[in-house]
Structure 1
Amino acid sequence: MRTALLSTAFAAIALSAPGSASAEVSKADVLANYSNIAAAKYGDSVATAKLLQAAVDALIANPSAETLQAAKAAWLVSRVPYQQTEVYRFGNAIVDDWEGKVNAWPLDEGLIDYVDASYGGPTDDNEFAVLNVIANPNFNLSGNEIDASEITPDLLADTLHEADGIEANVATGYHAIEFLLWGQDLNGHGTGAGNRPWTDYAQGADCTNGNCDRRAAYLKAATDLLVSDLEWMAAQWAEGGDARGALSANEDAGVVAILTGMGSLSYGETAGERMRLGLMLNDPEEEHSCFADNTHNDHYYDGLGVQNVYLGQYVGADGTLVSGPSLSDLVIQADPALDAEMKLKLANTMLALGRIKTAAEAGFAYDQMLERGNAAGEALVMGGVAGLVDQTKGIERVVSALGLDQLEIEGSDSLDNPDAVFQ
């Protein structure tokens, strides 16, 4: 798997090597291809989410160790195309305003279901941290009595998600589903992911931890909602969609939006909040996919998404290559040396993220890498951070080379003001 993935990355570099553009490429061309790739990525996200939906339906209809494992496998597959869409955040307001519905983290999972006693109880920051809606068909929320006897997508999206304005009250999306499939990871810095028993979905006397019917209803509602949310976003990037139209309304602003997404995902979000911060805190709870121990893949495919955008190409879930005029082509026309430098920086980042992925798949889990004093883990994580930070510097140079307005790239205290992390 590693060889195939890295070969794809390097093949992409070769396909967009300097001199590959045979004719002058316009910003309009680049924006159109960027939108086509977005449509393909969100389309693949819908398709794989529907496979997850089918696996969840099978688990609910016939709970067993096998159907639970199949649902977990489908969830992991669904993350591959979705993580490659995260580069469309930050610069595209329509994506950023929506993204919290499907990929919000970290979450106070006690809002959803039972948790271990070590999790604690309500906090000053979140009185609903252990609400456990699965066990409570009626509860008070912000002074209102809520009837949750029927768990529906509307209940999750309109009532529970970010309840009381608290971001940690994540009731929807990939990570809520992840928790319902894996359960809490109670291994700390040890090996192993969450280990929810399949009997949490069994009916009758075989049910463990109570409320198996409501747990199944929650999982079903969350998965159906994920599919519908992804379908909505895919439509925004289709021909005539609002996201496509907003991007193309002003060509310079559109290219700035593309570069803003690349820079902010590389720097503040992935290098900072998702990687450097977790290493500083030595906290396995700072993993992006902490229940499934899939964080190494989250980082890898985020990095690949950034590289996709620069090279103007994406290998779809079925192996189809979507490609066209790219940022790389624009930079070649302005500064061929900078284009070669950018491709090298992106390739170096993918090598660093690939090392993390390979190590994790060989048994050195990401939460082990975060443990204080683990020099090998720190070196791997910081290798990824360094690559992402370095490619951000290249992205900023691209802005100047193309004569565009300066970017507003998201930062992170972990990178910009480390002392503030511990205040």
Structure 2
Amino acid sequence: MKKALVLGVSALFAAGCVVGKTAPETTEEAVLSNYSDIAYAVFSDSLTTAESLKVAVDALVANPSQETLEAARAAWKVSRVPYQQSEVYRFGNSNVDDWEGDLNAWPLDEGLIDYVDPNYNRSATNLEEGEEVDQSATYSVITNSALDINNDGKADTAEISSSLIASLHELRGGEANVSRGYHAIEFLLWGQDLNGTNAGAGNRPFTDFVNGAGCTSGTVKADANTCVRRGQYLTVSTDMLIEDLQNMVAQWSPETEGNYRATLITEGQAGIKKALTGIGELAGGELAGERMRVALVANDPEDEHDCFSDNTHFSHYYNIKGIQNVYLGSYTRTNGDVVQGSSIKDLIAATDAKVAEQLAVKIEDARQAVNGLVESAESKENPQAFDQLIGPGNKEGNKVVQKAIDSLLLVTETTESAAKSIGITEL
């Protein structure tokens, strides 16, 4: 692991113990058992760090200050480390893929949730011919306590509750109408990033949470009730995140009979196919495509994954790290413990050692290429975050992103070859 990355996350890891078999058997059942052990560990770590985020959020709302705001922001970044490593369980496992949208949907029309810059109107961009603008991005639920979102005369937004927030999510089928999850919380902690492809993240003032005469909405003085509602939205959203993670932990728990894990372990090659699908699709279609290439081609920071906090470099890095964890059958928990056992690489190597090693090399190459984003953002001499790297005219920055994209596409290509070597003809 290179120095820039160690500086960013070293506080998360302490010396721990190894959990798992020292000489794992290479059977489909053993591989799927370890695959499930890693899932349970990574989702459990996601839950634990979300609970720590809740403590920091509660402290911010109870005592708004620059210190408590920065502490909540730091806790949010820590919570992303294990969660991003869990995304390799998407795509192949429908229970994770169906659930993920409630936690990690992006990009979002933040005007649905809170105040935005007067010149901002993302919902009016990139419209198909004949498509109407979705006015949901102008609702600002926090600042409008008597908003009629259903056009039936009812004040639907009078109380900030989990049911309200859930009802707003993908309102009227709009994918950008994101009201919950990590990125809604991120927006509430940082506010809009109005720097475009220049340096700087969102800069919401802590006074946006002050309950009293000092309440603000950015640079504008606001009614105290607005800050109360903003705090409520933040705390309820965090509670919802925790509940969602609790549900997923239960699905992978080795102590719960009849859950998703119990079924998956018995699926044999069909289960291995799910794991390989997660690797190939996250690397190519999602990370290289949706999360990098779309933003690079458009030179648009609005398509950046963690666009409010400028934490995208770490989120992308931990996606590829999650891929490596699953392929090699080893995951280092946030407390330093290591969960390891029979791996997909072991299974493939039993049939074709050459292609098994090729995929391991391609994944490591991709990890190093994506770590280039981290090194750039964390550089002491000339730091450039992802939104700067994708900027028009930034030829060297564009190359860093393109190198990561190319390396991830090779992971997908090699994953398909590895799958065929063990009789899986289509992912």
Q: TM-score, normalised by structure 2?
A: 0.89
The answer on 1:391 being equivalent to 2:411 is yes
Report what 1:313 is aligned to.
Answer: 330
Distance 2:353 2:123 in 1: 57
Q: Deviations over 1:238-264 (max 9, x none)?
A: 123632134234211101000111111
Distance 2:107 2:123 in 1: 16
The answer on 1:155 being equivalent to 2:164 is yes
Mark the CA change 1:136 to 1:122 in structure 2 (over 3 Å): closer, same or farther: farther
Mark the CA change 1:6 to 1:56 in structure 2 (over 3 Å): closer, same or farther: closer
Deviation at 1:356, TM superposition (A): 1.0
Counterparts in 2 of 1:17-416, with a 5 A limit? 24-120=25-121, 123=124, 124-144=132-152, 145-157=154-166, 159-209=167-217, 210=222, 211-239=226-254, 240=257, 242-362=259-379, 363-407=383-427
SS in structure 1 opposite 2:138? coil
8 A contact 1:31–1:255 mirrored in 2: yes
Deviation at 1:361, TM superposition (A): 1.2
SS in structure 2 opposite 1:117? coil
Q: Deviations over 1:92-131 (max 9, x none)?
A: 0001111001000000000000000110386424220110
| Aligned AA (1:311) | L
The root-mean-square deviation of aligned C-alpha atoms, in Å, is 1.9
| Aligned AA (1:214) | R
Distance 1:22 1:149 in 2: 59
The answer for unaligned runs of 5 or more in structure 1 is: 9-19, 408-423
SS in structure 2 opposite 1:80? helix
The answer for unaligned runs of 5 or more in structure 2 is: 10-20, 125-131
Deviation at 1:392, TM superposition (A): 0.8
Distance 2:259 2:155 in 1: 35
Mark the CA change 1:32 to 1:4 in structure 2 (over 3 Å): closer, same or farther: farther
8 A contact 2:109–2:122 mirrored in 1: no
Deviation at 1:2, TM superposition (A): 3.6
Q: Which runs of 4+ in 1 moved over 6 A?
A: none
8 A contact 2:24–2:341 mirrored in 1: no
SS in structure 1 opposite 2:331? strand
Identity %: 49
8 A contact 2:149–2:156 mirrored in 1: no
Distance 1:130 1:245 in 2: 45
SS in structure 1 opposite 2:424? coil
Distance 1:23 1:134 in 2: 53
8 A contact 2:88–2:279 mirrored in 1: yes
Mark the CA change 1:371 to 1:121 in structure 2 (over 3 Å): closer, same or farther: closer
Q: Deviations over 1:179-219 (max 9, x none)?
A: 00000000011111000000000121111122111100100
8 A contact 1:293–1:365 mirrored in 2: yes
Distance 2:135 2:4 in 1: 47
Aligned residue pairs total: 395
8 A contact 2:317–2:371 mirrored in 1: yes
| Aligned AA (1:3) | K
Distance 1:215 1:29 in 2: 48
Q: TM-score, normalised by structure 1?
A: 0.90
Mark the CA change 1:125 to 1:260 in structure 2 (over 3 Å): closer, same or farther: farther
SS in structure 2 opposite 1:398? helix
| Aligned AA (1:392) | T
Distance 1:4 1:326 in 2: 29
| Aligned AA (1:264) | E
Distance 2:326 2:26 in 1: 15
Mark the CA change 1:170 to 1:121 in structure 2 (over 3 Å): closer, same or farther: closer
SS in structure 2 opposite 1:322? strand
SS in structure 2 opposite 1:128? helix
| Aligned AA (1:52) | L
Q: Deviations over 1:154-192 (max 9, x none)?
A: 2111x1111111111100000000000000000011111
Single out whichever of 65-74 and 367-376 deviates more from structure 2: 367-376
Distance 1:373 1:361 in 2: 21
Deviation at 1:21, TM superposition (A): 9.2
Deviation at 1:3, TM superposition (A): 3.4
Distance 1:278 1:208 in 2: 32
Deviation at 1:393, TM superposition (A): 1.0
Mark the CA change 1:160 to 1:241 in structure 2 (over 3 Å): closer, same or farther: farther
Q: Deviations over 1:67-87 (max 9, x none)?
A: 000000000000000000000
| Aligned AA (1:389) | L
